[in-house]
Amino acid sequence: MNYSTLIFDAFDTVVYINRDRLPACQVNGTSIRTTAPAIHEVYTQHFGKLDFDVFYDAFSQSFAQVSEIRRTEHREIRSQERFRLLLRVLGHEADQVPPEVLDSLTIAHMDQLQESFEVRPETLEVLDWAGSRFRRSMISNFDYAPALHTALDRFGIRSAFESVIVSVDVGWRKPSRIIFDRAFEGLGILPSEALFIGDQLYVDVYGAVNAGMDVVWIETEHQDWLVPKLPEPTYKVRSIHEVIDLLEKGR
C-alpha cells in the first residue's frame, strides 16, 4: 500500500443516517419513518389541505422516478427539482411554482433529515488517526450540498477534509467517473494514489474501481442498488474502525 490520500463516501460511511430518529407516521395502516410529514405540512401551507396518504403516495412515486434517473443515467437531480416533480405528480402546474416554494419544501425535508444524522466515535477516531498520515477528501452523492456542509460543521469535522465534492455541484453522481475525476483534479493526484472508503457496492466499489482506484468496502447488507457482475473490492472490513488496522499493516 502506498496511498497519499483517503477519499471517503459521506452517508453511512462518515455521517450515519439513523432512520430510527426520523418521525414515525401511519401510511395506509402501516407505521413508517420518513421526512414526509414535515414536507406535507409545508405543502398544505402553500396549496391547502390534502390527505396525507394521497400526499405520501405522490411523494413515493416522485422519489422512485428520480431514483431511476439517478441509477440508470448517473445524473444528479437537485432536491428542488425532485419536489417540482412531486408537485407535478399531484397535478399542479409545477413549472409555474415559484422557486421559493421549492426551496421551502427542500428545507423542510433537509431540516428533518438532519435530525437523523450521527457521527459515531469510531469514525472520529479514524479521521483523527488519518489526519497525520494521509490527505483526506470526501465524495458524496447528495442533492442539496448545504445540508451536508451544515452536518460536517455541526459535528466539527469539516476541517478534516481537504475537499468535499458533492454530486449536486458536479451534476453527476457516483458511480460516474466524472465525479471521481473532479476530486482527482482538485487534489492534483492520480487515481492510484488514493484509496476510496465506502459502504455501497455499486456506487462506491464499482465507481471507485472504474475510476482506477483501490477501494475499501465497509460490509453492510443495506445496498441501494445492485447490478450483475460487480467488481470485487480491494479490501473488505466490517466497520470503519478496521481501516486503521488494515492500513497500519500495509505501511
Answer yes or no: is pLDDT of 165 > 80.
yes
Contact 2, 251 (CB under 8 A): no
Alpha helix locations (H) across 132-240? 145-154, 167-170, 177-187, 207-210
32-65 pLDDT, tens digit per residue, is: 999 999 999 999 999 999 999 999 999 999 999 9
The pLDDT tens digits for 166-192 are 999 999 999 999 999 999 999 999 999
What 8-state DSSP symbol labels residue 31?
E
Query: Do you find a cis peptide bond into 228, omega within 30 degrees of 0?
Result: no
> What does each C-alpha distance from 9 to 14, 59, 80, 241 come to in angstroms?
7, 26, 23, 15
Strand partners, 17: 117
Separation of alpha carbons 126 and 23, rounded Å: 30
Q: 193-233: per-residue pLDDT in tens?
A: 999 999 999 999 999 999 999 999 999 888 877 777 889 99
Backbone angles phi, psi at 137, to 5 degrees: -140, 175
**For residue 111, is pLDDT > 70?**
yes
Nine-digit cell at 166?
458533492
Looking at the domain 5-16+118-250, which fold is it? Answer: Rossmann fold (3.40.50)
Where do the structural domains in the chain lie, given as residue ranges? 5-16+118-250, 19-114
Q: Which residue has the higher pLDDT, 220 or 92?
A: 92
